[in-house]
Amino acid sequence: MNKIIVLVTLVITLSSIASAIEVGGHLTEDTIWTPENNPYLVTSGVFVEEDISLTILPGTIVKFDARLLDTFDFGNDFWFVDGIESSAKFIRCEGSIIAEGTEESNITFTRIQDEDYYCWGNIYLPEDAGFASFKFCNFEYAAFVGYSITEQPDGALSIRSGNAKIENCTFLNNGNSIEIQSKIENIEILNNLFSIIGPIHQGVANIYFQDFMIIKTIYLNSTNIPLIANNVFNQGVVISFTYPINFIDNEINYTSYSNPSLWISIYDESSSYIFSNQFNNTSTGIWGSGDEESMANLFIKDNQFIRSGGQGKGIEIDYYNIDINNNYFENCGLDTGHVFGRITNNTIRGGQTYFHGDITYTNNVNYDYNSSSYAISTYQDQIVNNIFVNNYPKLLSDSTDSLFTNCIILMNGDLHWWPIPHGSDTFRNCIIDFPLDPPLIDGGGNIIVDSLQAQEIFVDIENGDFHLAANSMAIDAGFDTLDYYYPFDIENSVRVWDGDNDGNSIIDIGAYEYGAPQLGKITGYIRESISGEPVNYVLLKANDEPGEFTFADSSGYFEIQLPEGTYDLYAERVFYDDNVIYTVTVENEQTTEIEFDMTYNDPLVGSDDNELNIQHSKLNISNYPNPFNPTTTISFNLPSDSDVSVEVYNVKGQKVKTLLSEKILQGQHNVVWNGLNQKNKPVSSGVYFYKVKAENQVSVNRMLLLK
C-alpha cells in the first residue's frame, strides 16, 4: 500500500505589527528564536517534531493568540474539535525545548490580546518528548489545551516527559502554572515565583482550576523523586501531589481560599520529604490522605506554620507513616488520623492538636492555646516528656484514656472538656498543678505544685522560655525507661544526663534535658565533580535510613546532628549520580567536617550514543565565543603528554566531526571548529557538544551555534 506523507513546515510571515513575526505549524529542523525578531506571534499551533530542538534566546518575547475563558462551554476555543485545533494557541513539543534567559534579559510567554479573562493555551511536552529547560522565563495568562479525552494538559507548562528544569521563572495569573504527569526521570523546579494578582478566569476560578493550582503532579512512572525547592508561592495557592516529592525551602503565602496550600495524596510505599518550608497564613498548610494498604512515608521536618491570627491547621493527615519533627506552629496545630510514627521536638503555640493512630508524642511544647474548645485530643500510651502550659479553656477532650509520662502540665484551664471525662487518663512522673482525683489515675512519681513553685521550674514561663532553671524540680525526676524516650531532647541535647551532679543519670521531666551536651554534627559542602560549583538541595541520609536525614541548602552546605557513633552518609539528587561517604565518626559536642563531590548527568548528553555516557574529569575545557557564528575555539589543558581526541556531537548524541586525534604534549591547547561536519558541510543552528578525551580523562561541554 502506498503511503502519502504530508510535511507541514514552519510558517513565518511578517505581521501588521512592525518587526513582529507570526509563527505556527511544524518545526522539522532545529530552530532558534531570537530577540531581534520580537515579538513572535503564535497565531497557529507550533508543533516541535520528535528529535527536533527549539532554542529560545534571552530577551525573546513570544505572544500567543488567546481566547475568552469564562464558561464551561469551551468548545473549539480551548479544545481540538473534529481535528481542528483550538483557537487558543500553544506549543506542543515532542522534541526538546531550551528557553534559557538571564537575570538581565528574561524570556516572556504571554497573550496577544491584553484583555481580562483572555488566555492562551500552554507549552506541552507529551510522553517521550526530549529535555526541557526554562530559566529566567515569564509565563502569563496561560490556561490549557484539550487535544483528546486522554490528553488535556492544563498547566502553563505541562510536562509528561522524562527530564525538565524550571528555574528562576515567574508565573503570573495562570490557571495551573505547572502540571507534571506520567514518565518522570529528573524534574527540578527551583527559585521560581508564582503569583495571582488580577482577574483571571471569570466564573470558573474556584471549580475548574481548583483555586489556581500552582503545581499539579500526577506521576504514573517515576525514576527519581522530583525536587521542588526555594520557590515563592503567593496568593491563591494549591499545590497538589499524588506521587512522592522533595519539597524544600519554599515560601507559601496563601490568603485567598479555604483549601490547603499543599495537598498530598500518595498511594504507594514511597517516602516524601517536606523540609524547611515557610507556611504563612494558610488555612491548612499540609493536607494529606493516603492509602490504608500502602501507608506511604511522610517526613515533615524544620518547617514553620504561622498564622497572624485566628485558628487553622498546620498539618492534617490520614493514612501515612509519619515523622513530624522540629516544626514550629503559631496559631495553628496538627491533626493526625490513621497514622503510625512519631511526633517529636515540635513547638505549638496557640494551636489545637489532635494526635491519634499509633503515635509516639515526645519532646513537644504546647502552649498559649486560647479558643473555644480543648487544646489536645489523643488516645495514646506514649505521651512522653512534653510541656503543656497556659492552654484555655480546656486542655484535653473528654475521652482520652491516655498515659502521660514525664510531662509538665501547668497553668491550663480545666483539664477536660466536660466536667466528668469519659476516659481514665494516667499520669506518671509528671509535674502538674491539679489533683489526681478519680477517674484520673496516679501512676506514681508525680509532683503537684502551686503557682509559685511553677514559676521556679523554667527560666521564664511567662514569656515561653521552657528551658529548665538551675535547681529545677524537673531535673533527674523522670520515669527513666528506655522504651519511653529518644536519645535526644527538643534541642538535640543528649538524653539521659546527670543534671544534678549526684552521680546518677536520670531523664528530666519535660522537653529539655538540663546541662546535657549537644549531639555531634556532621557538616560540609557538596560540589560538582568537574566544575567545583556547589550542588544545592541534596538529600543526605545517615546509614541510608530515611528518618535520619537533612538537605544541603542553596549554597551546598549541610549539617546533621546524630547520636555518637559511626555513620555512612548517603547523598542523592535529581540530575546527579548518587554518592556515599563511608565511616564518618560522630562524637557529642564535636563537629566532623567533610566535603564530597557529586557527578552531574547532563540530560542532553548520551541520549542515543553510548560514547557520551562518559566519566567526567578535570581537563578544564571551555570554548569562546559561545554562542558563536560560525567559528569557536575549544580550549583544554593536559596534565601530561597524552593521546588526545576532540569531537563534536549533536543533541541526539550523533558524532558531527572529529577535530583532533593525535598525541600531543602537556599544557594548554586550542582547537578551532568552523561549524562544518565531517563532510565539510555547514551544520544548522542549534546546541552541540564537544568532547575532549585524553588517556582515561574525558570532559564534555555544551555550545550554541547561532546563525
Q: What is the mean pLDDT of residues 697-704?
A: 82
Cell digits of residue 600? 552531574
Cell digits of residue 326? 522540629
Q: Judge whether 284 lies within some domain.
A: yes
Asked if residues 433 and 457 have their Cβ atoms less than 8 Å apart, the reply is no
Residues 555 and 453 in one domain: no
Asked if residues 304 and 346 have their Cβ atoms less than 8 Å apart, the reply is no
Would you call 438 exposed, middle or buried from its count of C-beta atoms within 10 A (0-12, 13-18, 19+)? exposed
Residues 541 and 615 in one domain: no
The pLDDT tens digits for 63-104 are: 999 998 876 556 789 999 988 999 999 999 999 999 999 999
Out of 502, 517, 532, a domain closes at 517
Cell digits of residue 556? 551546598
Higher-scoring residue by pLDDT: 23, 239: 23
Instruction: Name every residue whose Cβ is closer than 8 Å to that of residue 440 and which is 6 or more positions away in sequence.
Output: 415, 424, 425, 426, 427
The pLDDT tens digits for 431-485 are: 999 999 888 999 999 999 999 999 999 999 999 999 999 999 999 999 976 666 6
How much of the chain, in percent, has pLDDT values that exceed 70? Answer: 88
Distance CA 12, CA 33 (A): 12
Would you call 97 exposed, middle or buried from its count of C-beta atoms within 10 A (0-12, 13-18, 19+)? buried
Residues 409 and 531 in one domain: no
Given a cut of 50, whether residue 205 has pLDDT beyond it is no
Distance CA 325, CA 346 (A): 6
The pLDDT tens digits for 247-293 are: 999 999 875 556 778 888 887 788 999 999 999 988 889 998 888 88
Higher-scoring residue by pLDDT: 537, 294: 537
The pLDDT tens digits for 388-420 are: 999 999 888 866 788 999 999 999 998 886 666
Residues 44 and 149 in one domain: yes
Q: Judge whether 487 lies within some domain.
A: yes
Out of 577, 598, 619, a domain closes at 598
Distance CA 433, CA 453 (A): 10
Given a cut of 50, whether residue 11 has pLDDT beyond it is no
Residues 474 and 544 in one domain: no
Residues 219 and 297 in one domain: no
Distance CA 222, CA 327 (A): 29
Peptide bond into 439 cis (omega under 30): yes
The CATH number of the domain holding residue 547 is: 2.60.40.1120
Task: State the pLDDT at residue 221.
Answer: 55
Instruction: Name every residue whose Cβ is closer than 8 Å to that of residue 620 and which is 6 or more positions away in sequence.
Output: 635, 636, 637, 699
Residues 68 and 104 in one domain: yes
Task: State the pLDDT at residue 29.
Answer: 86
Given a cut of 60, whether residue 114 has pLDDT beyond it is yes
Q: Judge whether 629 lies within some domain.
A: yes
Task: State the pLDDT at residue 652.
Answer: 65
The CATH number of the domain holding residue 694 is: 2.60.40.1930
Residues 242 and 126 in one domain: yes
Of the candidates 362, 390, 405, the one whose C-alpha atom is nearest the C-alpha of residue 461 is 390
b/e burial code for range 24-46 (CB count within 10 A of at least 16 → b):
bebbbebbbbbbeebbbbbbbbb
Count other C-beta atoms under 10 Å from residue 114's C-beta.
11
Given a cut of 50, whether residue 612 has pLDDT beyond it is no
Given a cut of 60, whether residue 1 has pLDDT beyond it is no
Residues 32 and 177 in one domain: yes
Q: What is the mean pLDDT of residues 505-519?
A: 96
Hey, which residues does 358 pair with through a beta bridge? 340
Task: State the pLDDT at residue 535.
Answer: 97
Task: State the pLDDT at residue 574.
Answer: 94
Q: Judge whether 605 lies within some domain.
A: no
Task: State the pLDDT at residue 24.
Answer: 96
Query: Rounded to two decimals, what is the model's pTM?
Result: 0.86
Distance CA 48, CA 96 (A): 8
Query: What is the domain range of residue 335?
Result: 267-362
Task: State the pLDDT at residue 482.
Answer: 63
Question: Which residue intervals of 236-361 are DSSP H helices?
Answer: none
Residues 422 and 441 in one domain: yes
Radius of gyration of the chain (CA): 30
Strand 686-694 versus strand 642-650 pairing type? antiparallel
Cell digits of residue 301? 521536618
How far does CA 284 lie from the centroid of its chain?
18
Residues 340 and 444 in one domain: no
Asked if residues 96 and 651 have their Cβ atoms less than 8 Å apart, the reply is yes
Residues 118 and 29 in one domain: yes
Q: How many domains does the chain have?
A: 5
Q: For residues 485, 245, 250 and 239, what is the CA-based torsion angle, rounded to 10 degrees?
A: -120
Q: Judge whether 207 lies within some domain.
A: yes
Distance CA 33, CA 41 (A): 12
Out of 467, 485, 517, a domain closes at 517
